[in-house]
Structure 1
Amino acid sequence: MDIAHIAQHAGMAGSVFATIFVVATATMRTMIPLRVFGILTNAMLIAVSIPTHNYPTLALHAVLLPVNVWRLHQMLQLVRDVKKSVNGDLSMEWLKPFMTERKCAAGEELFYKDEKAEHMFYIVSGRFRLVESGIELPVGAIVGELGMLSPSHTRTQTLECIEAGVVLGVSYRQVEELYVQNPEFGFYFLRLASARLFQNIETLETRLAQAHVAVPAEVASETA
């Protein structure tokens, strides 16, 4: 059997396996398995294209292969970052690559109490305050993420910019898409949001306790 026949049979076998990978890829519901099978399909079709001199297919999958590798890396990195945040400082900096920048002027209100919640924000610079509670948010804080988990999807407070700055915003739809693409990300995101909720509750309880102690002390000083 000459080299031409070997190449022909190798090409046919490779085409069969590539077809199987393509079909398997079409059945994938989540992003990581999809990218893995996509990479295998690209590699297989590149290998088949070389002996059969199918240069258009070779060129196409030579371009798609690094794209799939990069997207797989991004998703795996996202999951690692979320896991790290859950076990660490509850930071949501891992969301920054998926967010868009917005400049805010002093006096501008980013959202109002009782309005429908559709975005969360990461504070890059400036000063921002939750009007109803009077809490000022530091640079690096995430605000608005709990609205996505609320049954009514409404804001519980108004967010006001008190000194010009920049925020990064991401829609709940984008976060939901990441969840659909990778359920593991969704699991850790829910854990992270829940941990931040309990952290906020603990902070409020501490402030209420301090206020409760301060009030009797003031009353005692007035009656003394």
Structure 2
Amino acid sequence: MTHFYLRVAIFCLGLIIGLYLGCKSATNKAIKSSIDSHMIKHIPSYDNWSLKRGIQRKVLPWDALRYSNITFILEADVLFKEINVLCLIIVRNNKNVQAAENTWARGCNNIHYVETVSTDKKKLPGMRTKEHSSWILLCKAVEGDKMYTYHYLLYKLQIFTQGTLGNLPYESDVPDEHIWRTFLKERNIHDENITADQYYKVWTNLINDPTSFAAHMKKEIHSVDYS
């Protein structure tokens, strides 16, 4: 019975906090709207910090980043140089450490490791959690081998919601015939009289299953320089 009342109390507390934050957010929006109506420009601290450094921020589609032949400086690169990020990583095994160093931890300027087991084999103090809690599920989801796939989806995958520059024909003096013949030779296919279906199958064979895909991403990430 005690657990029931405790849950009710926690629920009510969360509800009150949610209502308070919601009212506060609505009040801030109303104040900002009122200020804007009086022609007083409100500049958030981050925007003010950017303006002082002469940084002009704008959202660009992948189509412009990839195919406009213009060099852009990404906001993430600027922040990496201007702001030092210290990452504390709880170490459970060396496999996860290596995976972290090769993926998301490359965004850290400094890394400190915290071992879960001390030198005298005594575990660090901690709180017991349920096996199906969100924290346990998160820990299981970020095992070493899976980090490479997550890193690819978050930082390497490019989603084009619109685009025209990428659809323009590539200006090259190399004839199309030379391109597809070279493609076949690189895959040890010397029969140039293949059918369209056979040529299509060669391309589909390049698509990896999830396990091979993760291994390929792991190999590729090792060769990427994030500096």
Length-normalised TM-score, structure 2: 0.19
Q: Under a length normalisation based on structure 1, what TM-score does the superposition of the two structures give? A: 0.19
Q: Higher helix share goes to which structure?
A: 1
